[in-house]
């Protein structure tokens, strides 16, 4: 009986120190020891009752909460190399922090392309193609008298363009009409020049409205963009020197005079 009493007392001490979990009904309290201190230290779900503040806690209690005999709240936290019952809210010094969740990746918003400029009210031709004309209004037109076989007697003859050019009165009247068709806010005729999309020097039609359009003048200087004039000269030389067929030169400049030289490999 004395040995049994000693074992019971030892179990009670270990249980109160948090080193042994003793079910309340498994061990009787020794003489002079209350059942609360000797046998009530137990696990109830994830909660522990009758914990001893500062005592070691078993592995099953790691990170769990508990209540002392006085009703105070405690938590089993790591303290150095050991786990002890500490007042609730105490970090114990080394409790690992929860891993932060990665922030969701924010997808960039798609770039909104600007809408093309709409035709002004009453306009028949669009200005969104500038510095090129609206291809629906001016696709370009050819002079049937100029062919690959006749270039030596037509466009390659000095003075040909001046000879076939339409009179100024015709160009001025057409310019006023087409300025309105394009819906230009600036209606001053001197700020535009009737440009032959396929130039006369490459066999363009002299009078066709499909080949003439009101090209805006640069900075009101009275001069048309020199860049197109340079392209026309380059293509004329290539055609008359036999480097480029007439039809290809006409197609290239009618489609886009800004890329014509590169497209023809000149």
Per-residue model confidence as pLDDT tens digits over 77-120: 888 888 888 887 665 544 445 566 777 777 777 766 555 555 55
Domain closes at, from 35, 58, 87? 87
Give the C-alpha separation, 69 to 38, whole Å.
11
Domain closes at, from 87, 113, 136? 87
Total domain count, the chain: 2
Domain range for 165 is: 151-263
User: Tokens at residue 205, please?
Assistant: 């039609």
Give the C-alpha separation, 86 to 72, whole Å.
10
CB under 8 Å, gap of 24 or more: what pairs does 107-113 form?
none
Q: Is the pLDDT of residue 155 over 60?
A: yes
Domain closes at, from 55, 87, 119? 87
The candidate with the shortest Cα–Cα distance to 21, out of 73, 81, 64, 79, is: 64
Does 81 lie in the same domain as 159? no
Cβ density class 39-64: b for 16+ within 10 Å, e for less: bbbbeeeeebebbbeebbbbeebeeb
Q: Is the pLDDT of residue 30 over 60?
A: no
Q: How do residues 49-73 score in pLDDT, each as one tens digit? A: 787 887 888 888 888 888 887 778 8
Is 97 within the bounds of a domain? no
Residue 200's contacts (CB-CB under 8 Å, 6 or more residues apart) are 143, 155, 160, 161, 164, 165, 206
User: Tokens at residue 91, please?
Assistant: 């970090």
């Amino acid at each position: 009986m004395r040995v049994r009493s000693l074992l019971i007392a030892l179990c009670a001490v270990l249980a109160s120190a948090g080193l042994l979990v003793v079910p309340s009904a498994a061990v009787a309290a020794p003489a002079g020891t209350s059942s609360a201190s000797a046998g009530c230290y137990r696990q109830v779900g994830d909660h522990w009752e009758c914990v001893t503040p500062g005592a070691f806690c078993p592995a099953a209690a790691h990170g769990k909460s508990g209540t002392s005999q006085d009703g105070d709240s405690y938590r089993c936290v790591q303290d150095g190399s050991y786990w002890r019952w500490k007042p609730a809210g105490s970090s114990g010094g080394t409790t690992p922090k929860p891993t932060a969740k990665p922030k969701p990746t924010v997808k960039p918003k798609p770039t909104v392309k600007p809408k093309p400029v709409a035709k002004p009210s009453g306009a028949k031709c669009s200005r969104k193609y500038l510095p090129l004309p609206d291809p629906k209004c001016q696709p370009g037109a050819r002079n049937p008298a100029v062919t690959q076989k006749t270039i030596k007697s037509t466009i390659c003859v000095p003075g040909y363009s001046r000879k076939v050019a339409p009179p100024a009165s015709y160009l001025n009247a057409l310019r006023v009409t087409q300025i309105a068709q394009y819906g230009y806010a600036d209606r001053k005729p001197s700020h535009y020049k009737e440009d032959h999309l396929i130039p006369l020097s490459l066999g363009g039609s002299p009078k066709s409205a499909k080949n003439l359009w009101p090209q805006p003048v640069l900075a009101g200087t009275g001069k048309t963009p020199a860049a197109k004039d340079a392209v026309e000269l380059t293509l004329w030389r290539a055609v008359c020197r036999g480097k480029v067929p007439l039809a290809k030169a006409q197609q290239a400049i009618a489609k886009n005079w800004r890329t014509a030289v590169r497209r023809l490999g000149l």
